Amino acid sequence: MLYNVLKIERGTTVDGPGFRTSIYLAGCRHGCPGCHNPQSWDFEAGVKMSLEEIMDVVREEEFNVTLTGGDPLYNPDGAGALVKAIKAEGLTVWIYTGFTWEEIVEDKSLIAAVEGAEAIVEGRFMESLRDESLPFRGSSNQRIVYLA
């Protein structure tokens, strides 16, 4: 399976606790007004990387990992495969998604994708609820849901 990767940030501190490797996966259909990165909506944006190529970067850094985008859960099989591979390295995973927790639990493929993640940061970005003081979130409707 090939992933369209917008970028990989090494050692970032804004996408979850501690230093992290953040993997930005292309593609999102939520269309949130005020989205910080509309270029990320295109599923063909970025460069194509295999799971092993992504994992090579993860192993080089040895940081816990965040999957973000775009919305990684528009490719639930791909996101789930990454979660499992990262966990197998003894690292934890956070996932940023525009889907709400309620939407995830109602969809077998989405719940399977997040299984094994430590936490998800969920919900569409809502400009009217923008709050830059919130750690790891853009608007106050978004929640951090701990799974492990």
Rounded to 10 deg, the angle between the 76-88 and 51-61 helix axes is 40
Verify binding: residue 40, ligand SF4, rule CB under 6 A: yes
80 is a site residue for ligand SF4 (CB under 6 A): no
Stretch that binds ligand SF4, among 34-42, 48-56, 75-83, 112-120 (CB under 6 A): 34-42
Strand partners, 7: 24
Residue among 113, 125, 137, 145 that touches ligand SF4 (CB under 6 A): 125
> Does the footprint of ligand SF4 cover residue 129 (CB under 6 A)?
no
* C-alpha span between 97 and 66 (Å, rounded): 11
- Residue among 98, 20, 104 nearest 66 (CA): 20
Question: What share of residues in the chain are helix, strand, coil (percent, to 5)?
Answer: 30, 30, 40
- Residue 31 near ligand SF4 by CB under 6 A: yes
Which listed residue (78, 98, 110, 114) binds ligand SF4 by CB under 6 A? 98
C-alpha to C-alpha distance for 117 and 93, rounded to whole angstroms: 5
Our finding on whether 137 is near ligand SF4 (CB under 6 A) is no
Residue ranges that bind ligand SF4, judged by CB under 6 A: 28, 30-32, 35, 37, 40, 69-71, 98, 124-125
